[in-house]
Structure 1
Amino acid sequence: MRLPAALTDLFRRVETATLIVILLIAGALWVFVGLASEMMEGELHAFDESVLLALRTPGDPANPIGGPQIELAVRDLTALGGVTVLTLISLSVLTFLFLRRQRASAIFLAVAILGGQALSHLAKSGFSRPRPDLVPHGVEVATASFPSGHSMMAAVTYLTLAVMLARTEGQLRMRAFYVAVAAILAMLVGISRVYLGVHWPSDVLAGWALGAAWALGVWLLARKMARKGQIEPERSVET
């Protein structure tokens, strides 16, 4: 079966990288919607409980595995997804872009991060899932559980910062380094939330999925705006 001429022309004009990112965004949103649907139907309860209990000493749900030293380290990691740390890191990157005379990119980045934060609050308000009561909480919490705000904002902030920094870098390996570090930080924050018993695993998976979709969408929009001259152009990759 032959594709319509207009669709064929579209595929010719759109870069392979753009198509891949669009597919990744669609996949991430599909994961989020699937998790939200399963969560509301109660289908994730067994999975969530088994993972949460696997991180506790057998027979003693109040005691996380690894002992006090690991628990202290995990509390430090979870702070990487908190508002204070994310704000300080974001301001540092914004200052970097201003010093590089990329004022338009800095403003775009600030709007992108604030937009991601607004999306996180909106997503949380749409669901009223209670926090886990299966184990004691390792840190204080106040909002609803789904999706994990720390996990989502870590993915939104770190990945968005990474893709914007990568635009200023001419070496491909450095671009990969930025994205890899951002992904690792987001993963550590999410895992820490489950370890501390303040989120179900599916909360974290949903936060990662929605946060990654947002960051990838920011990358696509930045490329489009750069081509229109609305923000500074991306630095070409050195060969």
Structure 2
Amino acid sequence: MTVPQAADAARRARISARVMFLVVVGALLAVVAFAVHSTVEVYEAVAAGDGIETLDQPVLRAAIDVRSPGLTDLAVTLTALAGRIGTPVLGLVALGLFTWRRRDWTPTVLLVTGLLGSLCLTVLGKRLTDRARPPRQFMLPPYETSPSFPSGHTLNTTVLAVIVGYLVLITARHLLARWAVVGVCTVGPMGVGMSRIYLGAHWSTDVIAGLLVGSAWAFSVVLAHRVWLQVRRRERLDASAGTTPELDGGGATAAPVVPST
């Protein structure tokens, strides 16, 4: 490859990287904006009392009507996996697997940042709203006493699922493995949310808020990582561009240093 061809290839690579970066950032920003807007709408409905009248009570009655021993066992299991012990354990397992596979700090930074942030959002949301849970006579054990809005189980599980799914997409080589895990990470938070309604531990709008807030925060973490990767990529491309051509003593142009591909 000649020097002009190498320079042209490097230029095209930079343009392609910029376009892809803008597409990814735009898509992630759209998801975050939609989640934030929808969360505000849900919160306003809850604060005005509209959520209980139009959605929460009918959904809770429907969940009570379909209760059975098998479904109850499944709901209790999902709640345990997404609880105060289950979520940290799942996070540590994911952290260990990804760290072993990738041999870098990316899983640690993303998972720790995501889960600590989701915990803070859960505590903050509950303190701001102080919403009462469904009446005790509608609940199944384990009983909850903390404020209801948003659903912490759902929020934390959503954050963990999104970040794990993202790490799988950028780590796994097999297409089938990627989409199988992404499918599980998509269905998992929804199943946890439904289990919380089924057990009578949350109103449906609590679960919706947990899904939306968790998605917004998790995609914000992913977006920050994509920006960081793009900055690193630009630095490497600039470093590999070589030296500026200069005239030597005989008037010929000295060839720049071109990195091997």
TM range (shorter): 0.7 to 0.9
The secondary structure found in structure 2 opposite 1:96 is: helix
- C-alpha distance 39-221 of structure 1, shift in aligned 2 (>3 A): same
Counterparts of residues 56-95 of structure 1 (less than 5 Å): 56-57=64-65, 65-95=66-96
Compare the two structures and name the one with the higher helix fraction: 2
The answer for the alignment partner of 1:127 in structure 2 is 129
- 1:235 equivalent in structure 2: none
Residues 72-128 of structure 1, C-alpha deviation per residue, up to 9 Å, x if partnerless?
221112222112111111111211232235332133122222122212211221111
Whether the 8 Å contact between 2:113 and 2:221 is mirrored in structure 1 is: no
The correspondence for 2:152, drawn from 142, 149, 153, is 149
Q: Give the SS at the match of 1:198.
A: coil
Aligned letter for 1:41?
Answer: A
Q: Which has the larger radius of gyration?
A: 2
Unaligned runs of 5+ in 2: 1-17, 234-261
User: Does the 8 Å CA contact 1:166/1:174 hold for their aligned counterparts?
Assistant: no
1:117 aligned partner: 119
Letter in 1 for 2:194: I
Q: Which amino acid aligns with 1:99?
A: W
Name the amino acid aligned to 1:194. Answer: I
* CA distance 1:154–1:141, shift in 2 (3 Å): same
**Shift of residue 134 of structure 1?**
7.1
2:205 pairs with 1:202: yes
The answer for the alignment partner of 1:44 in structure 2 is: 51
Structure 2 matches for 1:1-239, cutoff 5 A? 14-46=21-53, 47-57=55-65, 65-109=66-110, 110-133=112-135, 135-138=137-140, 139-229=142-232
TM-score normalised by structure 1 residue count: 0.82
Take 2:107 and 2:20, find their aligned partners in 1: how far apart are those partners?
29
Is the 1:124–1:147 Cα contact (8 Å) retained in structure 2?
yes
* RMSD after superposition: 2.1
Summarize the Cα distance change of 1:91–1:13 in structure 2 as closer, same or farther, 3 Å threshold: closer
Q: What letter is aligned with 1:177?
A: A
- Measured after TM superposition, the shift of residue 43 of structure 1 is 0.8
- Displacement, 1:212? 0.8
Give the Cα separation in 2 of the matches to 1:220 and 1:36.
25
Distance 2:194 2:131 in 1: 19
**Which 4+ runs in 1 deviate beyond 4 A?**
11-14
Contact kept in structure 2, 1:131 and 1:145, CA below 8 Å? yes
Q: Is the 8 A contact 2:95 2:107 kept in 1?
A: yes
Aligned length: 213
Distance in structure 2 (CA, Å) of the matches to 1:178 and 1:82: 21
- Give the Cα separation in 1 of the matches to 2:73 and 2:102: 40
Distance 1:182 1:135 in 2: 32
